Structure 1
Amino acid sequence: MLNQQNQIDKKREMISCVLMCGGKGSRLNTDPTVKVEKPLLELKNRSLIEHMIDAVQNSKKKFKIYAAVSKNTEKTKDFLKSRYSNDITLIETTGSGFSNDYLVVLQFFKDKENKEKNRIQDFGNNKILFLPIDLPLISSKTIDEITDLYQSSPSIAIVVDKNLFVQNNFIPSPFVTEMSKVDYCYTGISVLDFHTITALEQIDQIREVPMIMNNLELVYNINTVGDLKKAEKFIGL
């Protein structure tokens, strides 16, 4: 009985983290010099997805890591199976866009929650952290700060001042929200209270509340070889 309680306590400390890596990488695919899938693109001799995994694993938090993969990232899937089979659980998505893949992942957790109602669950503290793998400069410290944010709503989305992208010669995301007459770009990072999923008849009813985090690590979004070179230069500095 005591051993079972210890297992429950450990689960309660754990946060689910989903690495979103099933996209097409459309802008990179148009570059003839790029021969690999976006998650496997190397920055300082390590792939983008390895940089992200390192940041998550070196966090002060305890994460159970998932990776959302698709037919677009078959080699990434093979890489994760061979290198991280004991550390990362794969979730198959459609690869038809970030929003659609996000909904597939939510359905995965909803199904998992329903199956495990009478058993010890993987996600005890109710949070799911979504991280796109094209933000390889994100640090463990920033990940800790994001998961520690006060969550006044079931789902929060991290946004960055659009001017920060412009000032650092990055193309701002087209997904923008305006607050106090300032435009903020969505980063693709979000934190969700997963228990809200089971309370909804349709998972696409979830509404995200934007939360500002003007951190340069979140500006270095890798969509082109030029972006990769900027990130290399930034690391060098």
Structure 2
Amino acid sequence: MIGRALSSDFLKIRGKGIWFLIFIAPIGLVVMQALNFGLRYDYLIKEYRGHLWEGLISNMMAFVPLALFMGSTLVSSMLAGVEHQLSSWKQLLALPISRTAVFTSKFVLSIILMAVACLLLSVFTAVLGLCLGFGFPLPWSDVAKIGFFPFIGSLPLLALQLYLSLTYRNQALPVTLGLALAICSLFTGSLSEWFPLNWPALAYRADHQLPFLGAGFALGLLILIFALLHFNRKDVN
């Protein structure tokens, strides 16, 4: 049942600009670092001599949590907007398919979309490093982690944003909240490491990454369960 709903959701997002967002976001991050290293090449090469890849990834990581929070907000809003704009909730929920399957399908789709963006970020980061002449051996583990570890740490916000976007027809509230949290995440580093907005960065940077990966997954799952229970009981227009 979820498979059929997911297949339908894939068809619905065709031509909606969501895939464009998924591709342009990691490209934007990489282009920004290409300009950073291009304009300050001699200084940065000297600064990170002996650990050039680590320097590139560190500079990239400064913006990855912000990009993930903003991406989760926009992807969730655009997915929900497909149903809200067509006023198709009543028709959709009248079909012989459970509300749980409908909601879970959209959450799985948002996971897939964000995962594709994270994969592209890792690939483009590797390509950028090679283009800058950093050469081999390429730190495949670190390059892969920069895409996916922060993503796991950001799952609570993705679950929350999808819930709010599907619940409210007017997207002003979820989008405003999501963008506000994304901006706030730039200034929460001095707060407790257990503050959720810090988890995407700590999931990559912390000496012990597993607790933050687990916390991101667990809280994301908890929010998802709450959202499912509420969505199953809520009247939808």
- TM-score normalized by structure 2? 0.29
Q: Which has the higher contact order (CA 8 A, sep 6+)?
A: 2
Which structure is higher in helix share? Answer: 2
Which structure is higher in strand share? Answer: 1
Larger Rg: 2
